[in-house]
Amino acid sequence: MLQALAILAAGFWAGMINVVVGSGTLVTFPVLLLFGYSPLVANVSNNIGLVGGGITGTLGYRSELAGRAATLKRLLPASALGGISGALLLLVLPAGAFQAIVPVLIVVGLVMVVWGPAIQRAARRRRTGLPAVATTADPLEAAGPGPHYRAAIVAGVYVLGIYGGYFGAAQGVLLVGLLSVLTTATLQSITGLKNLLTTVVNAVAAITFMAVSWHSVNWTVVLLISVGSALGGVAGARVGRRLSPLLLRTIIVIVGLAALVRLLFFS
């Protein structure tokens, strides 16, 4: 009973911070390892369980997704294909092959999150001569001039989808960093899009796991994390939508650094 409550609580916390920031996997995954689940079973079951939190969190940010049809038509397929690719890699590659670069990716994401506003302002002045402020426009419409910016965003979302399907820790941080640097969209708009994209990655990876490696799924763990993360997603959406951009970026950096410390020194 205590183990079940601990996994449920970890799912709630992971669902909440996934909506606001990302890195929820770094809450649930170590808890499952602590209770003796194998890394593969823990990773697969955790991935499936966190889909519930992604759904409730995305619904909580649905107003930030309004009018984003052009972006979604391009980025959702990239996330889905990336998620499938990452899930298949998890099942065929050695366990530590991809996880070895996770700390590097987290550092890159944090740098992009920290320097994103300054880069946005400088890029906006250089491109259009307009005031250096963020815009609520569709993220791809708020990207830099020329098709190469949009192509870079789609390619980046696909690569992060692979990462998310394989392991997923701080996938949200990396997506926020990518979109902060390559677009002039507001942080809340980026957060809403991030929630949908990471949910798609988790969902298609979950379907892949169930289709290809059903025996690797612990359904008790899935149920506990699903319930906890779904409730956490509701709480996270209510809190996250009220945060200022500065506070939201500060939380992203704090959680990202905590994730980095855990991976480097306690994994």
When mean pLDDT is compared over 145-154, 234-243, 258-267, the highest value belongs to: 234-243
Query: Which carries the bigger pLDDT value, residue 142 or residue 67?
Result: 67
Q: For 37-46, how does the pLDDT look when each residue is reduced to its tens digit (9 = 90+)?
A: 888 899 999 9
Q: Name the β-bridge partners of 183.
A: 143
Please state the φ and ψ torsions of residue 164, each to the nearest 5 degrees. -65, -40
pLDDT (average), residues 74-84: 95
pLDDT (average), residues 18-32: 85
Q: pTM of the prediction?
A: 0.83
Give Cα 41 distance to the centre of its chain.
20
Q: For 88-97, how does the pLDDT look when each residue is reduced to its tens digit (9 = 90+)?
A: 998 888 867 7
3-state secondary structure of 205: helix
Question: Does the structure show a pLDDT above 50 at 131?
Answer: no
pLDDT (average), residues 237-250: 78
Q: For 152-165, how does the pLDDT look when each residue is reduced to its tens digit (9 = 90+)?
A: 899 999 999 999 99
3-state secondary structure of 167: coil
CA neighbor of 42 nearest in space, from 178, 221, 177: 221
> N- to C-terminal Cα distance for the chain?
26
Share of the chain above pLDDT 90, in %: 37
pLDDT of residue 27: 85
